[in-house]
């Protein structure tokens, strides 16, 4: 199924307003939550470092867990917000993809009739490729990176770092060759799986058409049988 | 319960920086929040600081600090402060206009004990980073993590220490006075460096809330002092090591860091300077003697910090003095005068201001331009620069937003220039329209900086050029009024150049949106207005637009050479412009032989880059314009000089030495080249096309002919060259027009009149209180 999304001046205005609203949301709740967390943490510090009411370690750990819980809650809220935003975006995208209201369509299509975006919304391929396969097909995800914890030993640390970087680079050179080969193999796998999925979809489509034809023929046979009386 | 209108004491600690102190005091006169006093603590100064302060007698409280010790100086200021809030400002930093207003708003929250805003390096140089400080964090071992957008981006900052707190920067920080007194003020062991961090660490341990914000901006113009010489490597760097070692030993073990981590950190601080000195020497920045001086001083500093931390108690304010300070009940000494709102804009680098004293409050204007000097710039950048200069000289505050690879705010030629990068993270639906996609994201980045400028500077209006629709998102936000400078529309140009791809069309749509949504239009000529209306099908009621002609910098009288009627030597005709069809170069080529047949001694100078590859001429003829002329009119080639593109100085010389200027363009929305020639008292010849008749007054400052009429052009040229009196009269009239109608001062004045009217008519629909957002992030 191919849908067309007309980009018009109104669409642009909607998009800009949408982005402006997104900016406003992110500034509100999260900042306030952070401030509350800081306040709580400050009280905890005050209680712990105040010699008059020196807090015992168990109480401190319990309070710290409480603080962690608050942090997790905040992160959870942020994740929920992010999910909601993604859903909003998706809904927004689908709304614009599913065409425009009839009363506006004519005027807007006249404005930018030759400007459209196409979107293949094949239900069988929705969500394709799976995330892990997509990552495996991308070269940069597999190529090894130089991961080194720099030595912090004064004076000879720099020398040690240089030596270790040189050794790591040699290892990376060989691993990179293997990784590149693997990426090519993965890409080939991905491509073949995609073909198979398409093929399977086409087969199913053919089966559906054939089933309909069989049903039609059966109905036709039954009609003939009734008319001729031949069984 | 929210605290309203708290009193603020601004404490400035200074030694040997009289000029900078004068500048910062001038800047404080322009603050939008009036309820504050200024306390200046003067160290053992050797310059005329006290003379500068005499001008502020009765408005500034002046105290003396016997030693060049910043912590001690800060404590003296703190003890004398009468405000509920104590704000520290460096003597070489200039606050944004709403700095104190924002601090007052923040401290309206009774939970807050300390805050600070962003600090920009204000010099227009790449030597320094653009943002010196913004919401930083720092550990108990003095490991810094700066310029963070959010506290939650990196919950576990990298570093050895386990204890991290929000960092403050001495150039821009404010505290609740009582909280500072409670912890004993600053530790005077710190001569400078880390004294503010030590204080924050103690405040946090005492349970106080420290919360830095992204805004409340201060522009820092580091000046030399006895501790360092700016833009050199000379300085008392060992004080950093001394402070660092002392700090790490005082706070690391107390907050749970291991002794091993603390000692390693102390060694690293020392070793860091050791290595740095070596690097400087290898790069030939310092001689070997200085390298070893730095290294030996550093070793001394290590032991000084170590012994200070292990064997000395913190040098805080004695309790008796704190008790006395708490008893102070006198009101603050008001600093601002009645004319605070009439203060003209300030050059924060030189401390100078406009000589014109405004009779009405000057405006706060934001100009947009994708390119801007001193980086590489185009015509829009050049015009915007002239506008900024003219507006500043009339006393208005100007901020220019332009594109840059990195964020930077610097003061240049009368305006704060905000270079902003943009991320391609929004408007994904337009990704396949490359220029549109980039343009929208840039426009959004511009909006965000405008928003920041409204918060920090109280910007009242935004002026956007037509191309690249930079002001579009700001228009939609309805945050401030946006006016649009109309020039030749993209759709006009794309029609001429036969560009009809979807991206160009989409850009045209954006441009149309920008015009439609604008609060006011500013075409440079009526011809431009009519062309834009026609191409976009827009109606333009008179109250919607104002024609503002462009202006240039008038050349000094000494450089003007009007035509000498007694001259008998050959005359020179000058053409300036790209060599392309639209500029009428083919008509000029056809006219030249006709002129030379009548006046064979005449000389033609053609200045400008050949554009035959792009206007289709090379495709048709296989030749560039100069080659074509030599080929087609070979017998006249010796009378014609093609210079190619020249620099500004050479161009001025050509204008100065020519006798007639000719530019037979088929279309010009304005025609700046005619003004440039008129500036040097030269008569001009152009076509009756576009905005040219609005710039060249026919028969008064020049001669106009129909476009694409070489015979008429040749006739006009020959006639003018034969009449020395006309050459002189037209030239002098042109010069007069430049001075009276087309100077950049006049242009800026015209723009300012329109801005003031549009600001008065604007009604914001922006929701919420922008300053109220500050505490939220």
- Mean of the pLDDT values across residues B262-286? 91
Q: Does A115 touch chain B (CB under 8 A)?
A: yes
pLDDT over 60 (residue A4)? no
- Mean of the pLDDT values across residues B627-645? 93
Identify the residue whose tokens are 């990552």: A135
Residue A92 is part of which domain span? Answer: 2-121
- Mean of the pLDDT values across residues B567-588? 91
pLDDT at residue A60 in the model: 67
Q: pLDDT tens, B643-683?
A: 998 988 999 999 999 999 999 998 888 888 999 999 999 99
pLDDT at residue A96 in the model: 47
Q: Does A97 touch chain B (CB under 8 A)?
A: no
Report the alpha-carbon distance of residue B595 to residue B589 in Å, rounded. 10
Identify the residue whose tokens are 């010790």: B69
Q: Which residues on B lie below 8 Å from A155 (Cβ)?
A: 271
CATH 3.90.550.10 domain span(s) along chain B = 8-326
Among chain A residues, CA nearest to B268: A154
Nearest to B502 among A50, A75, A114 (CB): A114
The CA distances from residue B311 to B191, B263, B296, B297, in Å, are 18, 16, 22, 21
pLDDT at residue A230 in the model: 59
Q: Which residues on A lie below 8 Å from B767 (Cβ)?
A: 24
Q: Does B209 touch chain A (CB under 8 A)?
A: yes
pLDDT over 60 (residue B521)? yes
Report the alpha-carbon distance of residue B669 to residue B647 in Å, rounded. 24
From A109's Cα to the closest Cα of chain B, the distance in A is 13
Nearest to B205 among A28, A32, A45 (CB): A45
A-facing residues of B in 423-452 (CB < 8 A) are 426-427, 429-430, 432-433, 440, 444, 447-448
pLDDT at residue A33 in the model: 60
pLDDT over 90 (residue B51)? yes
Nearest to B777 among A8, A30, A155 (CB): A30
My answer on whether A115 and A157 are in the same domain is no
My answer on whether A112 and A186 are in the same domain is no
Q: Does A53 touch chain B (CB under 8 A)?
A: no
Nearest to A13 among B205, B476, B777 (CB): B476
- Torsion over CA: A83, A88, A91, A97 (sign): negative
Q: pLDDT tens, B174-208?
A: 999 999 999 999 999 999 899 999 999 999 889 88
pLDDT at residue A59 in the model: 67
pLDDT at residue B60 in the model: 96
The CA distances from residue B756 to A122, B188, B461, in Å, are 56, 51, 9
- Mean of the pLDDT values across residues B478-493? 90
Percentage with pLDDT > 70 across chain A: 41
pLDDT at residue A196 in the model: 76
Q: pLDDT tens, A144-170?
A: 666 667 776 766 777 777 787 777 777
pLDDT at residue B199 in the model: 96
Q: Which residues on A lie below 8 Å from B205 (Cβ)?
A: 45-46, 49
Q: Which of A6, A12, A28, A110 to mutate to test the interface with B (most CBs of B within 10 A)?
A: A12
pLDDT at residue B683 in the model: 96
* β strands within B577-639, DSSP E: 603-607
Q: Does A221 touch chain B (CB under 8 A)?
A: no
Q: Does A6 touch chain B (CB under 8 A)?
A: no
pLDDT confidence tier of residue B354, bands split at 50, 70 and 90: confident
Count of domains observed in chain A: 2
Q: pLDDT tens, A182-208?
A: 777 777 777 777 777 777 777 788 888
B-facing residues of A in 170-189 (CB < 8 A) are none
Q: Out of A24-33, B20-29, B362-371, which region has the weakest mean confidence (pLDDT)?
A: A24-33
My answer on whether A169 and A217 are in the same domain is yes
My answer on whether A135 and A110 are in the same domain is no
Q: Which residues on A lie below 8 Å from B149 (Cβ)?
A: none
Helix, strand or coil, per DSSP, at residue B545? strand
Q: Does B182 touch chain A (CB under 8 A)?
A: no
- Mean of the pLDDT values across residues B373-402? 92
My answer on whether A74 and A158 are in the same domain is no
Q: Does A105 touch chain B (CB under 8 A)?
A: no
Q: Are strands B164-166 and B172-176 parallel, antiparallel or unpaired?
A: unpaired
pLDDT over 70 (residue A67)? no
The residue out of A100, A121, A142 marking a domain boundary is: A121
My answer on whether A138 and A186 are in the same domain is yes
My answer on whether A131 and A84 are in the same domain is no
Cβ contact A46–B205 (<8 Å): yes
- Mean of the pLDDT values across residues B521-538? 92
The residue out of A121, A139, A163 marking a domain boundary is: A121
Q: Is A127 left (phi over 0), alpha (psi -120 to 50) or beta?
A: left
Q: Which residues on B lie below 8 Å from A152 (Cβ)?
A: 264, 268
Percentage with pLDDT > 90 across chain B: 68
pLDDT at residue B592 in the model: 96
pLDDT at residue B176 in the model: 96
Please state which CATH class domain B557-742 belongs to.
alpha beta
pLDDT confidence tier of residue B775, bands split at 50, 70 and 90: very low
pLDDT at residue A6 in the model: 57
CATH superfamily placement of domain B361-544: Glycogen Phosphorylase B; (3.40.50.2000)
Q: Out of A43-52, A95-104, B119-128, which region has the weakest mean confidence (pLDDT)?
A: A95-104
CATH superfamily placement of domain B8-326: Spore Coat Polysaccharide Biosynthesis Protein SpsA; Chain A (3.90.550.10)
* Bond from prior residue into B18 cis (ω within 30 degrees of 0): no
Q: Does B513 touch chain A (CB under 8 A)?
A: yes
Report the alpha-carbon distance of residue B289 to residue B38 in Å, rounded. 43
My answer on whether A83 and A153 are in the same domain is no
Q: Does A7 touch chain B (CB under 8 A)?
A: yes
pLDDT at residue A108 in the model: 42
Nearest to B271 among A8, A96, A154 (CB): A154
- Looking at per-residue pLDDT, the higher value among B145 and B719 belongs to B719
pLDDT at residue B88 in the model: 98
The residue out of A77, A104, A121 marking a domain boundary is: A121
- Torsion over CA: B331, B337, B341, B344 (sign): negative
- Mean of the pLDDT values across residues B485-507? 82
Q: Which residues on B lie below 8 Å from A71 (Cβ)?
A: 155
My answer on whether A170 and A204 are in the same domain is yes
pLDDT over 90 (residue B705)? yes
Q: pLDDT tens, B70-97?
A: 999 999 999 999 999 999 999 999 999 9
pLDDT confidence tier of residue A212, bands split at 50, 70 and 90: confident
Among chain A residues, CA nearest to B767: A24
Nearest to B473 among A16, A34, A43 (CB): A16
Q: Does B283 touch chain A (CB under 8 A)?
A: no
Report the complex ipTM.
0.71
pLDDT confidence tier of residue B774, bands split at 50, 70 and 90: very low
H or E segment and range at residue B420: strand B415-420
My answer on whether A165 and A220 are in the same domain is yes
The CA distances from residue B581 to B587, B616, B624, in Å, are 9, 9, 12
From A147's Cα to the closest Cα of chain B, the distance in A is 15
- Looking at per-residue pLDDT, the higher value among A39 and B749 belongs to B749
Report the alpha-carbon distance of residue B89 to residue B169 in Å, rounded. 10
Report the alpha-carbon distance of residue B467 to residue B532 in Å, rounded. 12
Q: Which of B173, B187, B180 is nearest to B11 (CA)?
A: B173
From B240's Cα to the closest Cα of chain A, the distance in A is 18
Nearest to A115 among B267, B502, B777 (CB): B502
CATH 3.40.50.2000 domain span(s) along chain B = 361-544, 557-742
Q: Which of A6, A14, A16 to mutate to test the interface with B (most CBs of B within 10 A)?
A: A16
pLDDT confidence tier of residue B221, bands split at 50, 70 and 90: very high
Cβ contact A152–B426 (<8 Å): no
Q: Which residues on A lie below 8 Å from B268 (Cβ)?
A: 152, 154
Report the alpha-carbon distance of residue B631 to residue A53 in Å, rounded. 99
Nearest to A38 among B209, B472, B506 (CB): B209
Q: Does A110 touch chain B (CB under 8 A)?
A: no
From A97's Cα to the closest Cα of chain B, the distance in A is 11
pLDDT over 80 (residue B156)? no
Q: Does A93 touch chain B (CB under 8 A)?
A: yes
My answer on whether A64 and A108 are in the same domain is yes
- Mean of the pLDDT values across residues B493-506? 79
pLDDT confidence tier of residue B567, bands split at 50, 70 and 90: confident
H or E segment and range at residue A63: helix A57-97
Q: CB–CB of B544/B538 below 8 Å?
A: no
Cβ contact A78–B429 (<8 Å): no
- Looking at per-residue pLDDT, the higher value among B123 and B326 belongs to B326
Estimate the crossing angle of helix B238-251 against helix B288-311, to 10 degrees: 30
- Mean of the pLDDT values across residues B264-280? 90
B-facing residues of A in 117-146 (CB < 8 A) are 117
- The DSSP letter of residue B168 is -
And the tokens for A190? 């991905």
Q: Average model confidence (pLDDT) for chain B? A: 90
Helix, strand or coil, per DSSP, at residue B713? helix
Q: Which residues on B lie below 8 Å from A30 (Cβ)?
A: 150, 152, 776-777
pLDDT over 50 (residue A109)? no
Report the alpha-carbon distance of residue B602 to residue B707 in Å, rounded. 23
Nearest to A35 among B150, B211, B429 (CB): B211
My answer on whether A149 and A199 are in the same domain is yes
Q: Which residues on B lie below 8 Å from A12 (Cβ)?
A: 440, 509-510, 513
Q: Which residues on B lie below 8 Å from A160 (Cβ)?
A: none
Nearest to B206 among A11, A30, A46 (CB): A46
- Looking at per-residue pLDDT, the higher value among B63 and B621 belongs to B63
Q: How many CB pairs under 8 A join A and B?
A: 105
């Amino acid at each position: 199924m191919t849908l067309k999304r007309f980009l018009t001046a109104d669409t642009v205005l909607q998009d800009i307003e949408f982005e402006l609203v997104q900016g406003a949301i992110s500034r509100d709740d999260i900042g306030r939550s952070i401030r509350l967390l800081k306040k709580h943490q400050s009280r905890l510090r005050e209680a712990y470092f105040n010699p008059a009411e020196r807090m015992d370690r168990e109480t401190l750990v319990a309070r710290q867990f409480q603080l962690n819980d608050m942090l997790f809650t905040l992160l959870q809220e942020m994740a929920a917000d992010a999910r909601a935003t993604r859903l909003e975006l998706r809904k927004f995208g689908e709304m614009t993809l599913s065409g425009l209201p009839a009363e506006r369509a004519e005027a807007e299509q006249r404005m930018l009739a030759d400007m459209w975006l196409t979107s293949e919304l094949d239900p069988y391929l929705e969500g394709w490729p799976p995330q892990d396969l997509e990552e495996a097909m991308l070269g940069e995800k597999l190529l090894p990176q130089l991961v080194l914890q720099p030595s912090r030993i004064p004076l000879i640390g720099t020398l040690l770092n240089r030596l270790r970087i040189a050794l790591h680079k040699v290892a990376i050179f060989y691993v990179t060759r293997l990784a590149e080969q693997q990426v090519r193999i993965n890409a080939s796998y991905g491509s073949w799986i995609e073909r198979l999925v398409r093929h399977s979809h086409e087969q199913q489509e053919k089966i559906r058409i054939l089933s309909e034809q069989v049903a039609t023929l059966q109905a036709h046979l039954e009609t003939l049988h009734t008319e001729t009386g031949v069984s | 319960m929210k605290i309203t209108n708290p009193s603020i004491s601004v404490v400035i600690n200074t030694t040997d920086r009289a000029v900078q102190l004068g500048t910062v005091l001038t800047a404080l006169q322009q603050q939008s929040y009036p309820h504050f006093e200024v306390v200046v603590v003067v160290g053992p100064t050797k310059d005329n600081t006290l003379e500068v302060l005499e001008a502020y007698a009765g408005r500034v409280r002046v105290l003396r600090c016997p030693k060049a010790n910043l912590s001690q100086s800060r404590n003296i200021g703190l003890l004398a402060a009468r405000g509920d809030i104590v704000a520290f400002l460096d003597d070489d930093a200039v606050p944004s206009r709403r700095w104190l207003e924002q601090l007052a708003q923040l401290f309206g929250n009774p939970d807050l004990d300390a805050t600070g805003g962003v600090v920009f390096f204000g010099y227009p140089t790449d030597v320094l980073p653009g943002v010196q400080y913004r919401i930083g964090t720092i550990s108990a071992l003095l490991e810094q993590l700066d310029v963070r957008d959010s506290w939650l981006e990196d919950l576990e900052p990298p570093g050895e220490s386990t204890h991290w707190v929000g960092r403050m920067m001495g150039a821009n920080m404010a505290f609740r006075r009582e909280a500072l007194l409670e912890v004993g003020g600053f530790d005077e062991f710190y001569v400078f460096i880390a004294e503010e961090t030590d204080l924050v660490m103690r405040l946090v341990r005492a349970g106080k809330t420290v919360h830095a914000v992204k805004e409340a901006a201060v522009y820092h113009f580091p000046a030399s002092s006895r501790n360092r010489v700016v833009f050199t490597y000379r300085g008392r760097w060992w004080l950093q090591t001394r402070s660092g070692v002392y700090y790490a030993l005082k706070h690391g073990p107390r907050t749970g860091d291991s002794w091993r981590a603390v000692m390693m950190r102390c060694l690293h601080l020392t070793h860091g300077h050791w290595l740095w000195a070596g690097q400087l020497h290898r790069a030939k920045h310092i001689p070997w003697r200085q390298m070893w001086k730095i290294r030996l001083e550093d070793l001394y500093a290590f032991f000084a910090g170590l012994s200070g931390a292990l064997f000395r108690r913190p040098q805080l304010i004695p309790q008796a003095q704190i008790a006395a300070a708490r008893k102070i009940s006198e009101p603050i000494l008001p600093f601002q005068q009645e004319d605070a709102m009439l203060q003209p804009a300030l050059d924060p680098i030189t401390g100078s201001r406009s000589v014109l004293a405004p009779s009405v409050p000057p405006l706060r204007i934001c100009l947009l331009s994708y390119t801007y000097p001193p980086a590489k710039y185009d015509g829009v950048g050049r015009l915007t620069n002239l506008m900024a200069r003219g507006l500043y000289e009339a006393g208005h505050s100007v901020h220019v937003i332009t594109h840059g690879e990195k964020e930077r705010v610097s003061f240049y030629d009368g305006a704060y220039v905000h270079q902003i990068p943009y991320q391609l993270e929004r408007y994904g639906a337009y990704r396949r329209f490359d220029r549109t996609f980039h343009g929208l994201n840039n426009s959004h980045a511009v909006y965000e900086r405008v928003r920041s400028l409204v918060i920090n500077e109280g910007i009242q209006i935004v002026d956007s050029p037509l191309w690249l629709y930079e002001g579009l998102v700001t228009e939609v936000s309805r945050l401030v009024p946006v006016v649009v400078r109309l020039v030749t529309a993209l759709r006009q140009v794309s029609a001429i150049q036969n560009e009809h791809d979807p991206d160009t069309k989409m850009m045209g749509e954006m441009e149309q949106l920008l015009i439609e949504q604008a609060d006011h239009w500013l075409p440079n000529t009526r011809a431009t207005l009519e062309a834009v209306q026609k191409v976009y099908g827009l109606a333009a009621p008179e109250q919607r637009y104002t024609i503002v002609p462009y202006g240039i910098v008038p050349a000094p009288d000494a450089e003007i050479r009007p035509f000498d009627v007694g001259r008998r030597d050959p005359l020179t005709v000058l053409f300036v412009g790209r060599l392309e069809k639209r500029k009428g170069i083919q008509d000029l080529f056809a006219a030249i032989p006709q002129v030379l047949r009548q006046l064979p001694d005449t000389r033609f100078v053609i200045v400008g880059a050949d554009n035959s590859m792009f206007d289709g001429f090379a495709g048709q003829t296989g030749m560039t314009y100069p080659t074509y002329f030599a080929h087609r009119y070979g017998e006249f080639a010796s009378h014609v000089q093609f210079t190619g593109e020249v620099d500004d100085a050479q161009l001025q010389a050509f204008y100065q030495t020519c006798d007639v200027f000719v530019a037979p363009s088929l279309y010009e929305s304005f025609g700046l080249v005619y003004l440039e020639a008129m500036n040097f008292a030269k008569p001009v010849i152009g076509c009756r096309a576009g905005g040219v008749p609005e710039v060249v007054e026919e028969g008064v400052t020049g001669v106009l002919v129909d476009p694409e009429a070489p015979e008429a052009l040749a006739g006009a040229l020959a006639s003018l060259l034969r009449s020395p009196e006309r050459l002189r009269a037209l030239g002098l009239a042109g010069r007069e027009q430049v001075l009276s109608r087309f100077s950049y001062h006049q242009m800026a004045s015209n723009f300012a009149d329109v801005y003031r009217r549009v600001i008065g008519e604007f009604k914001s629909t922006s929701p919420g209180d922008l300053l109220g957002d500050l505490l939220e992030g």
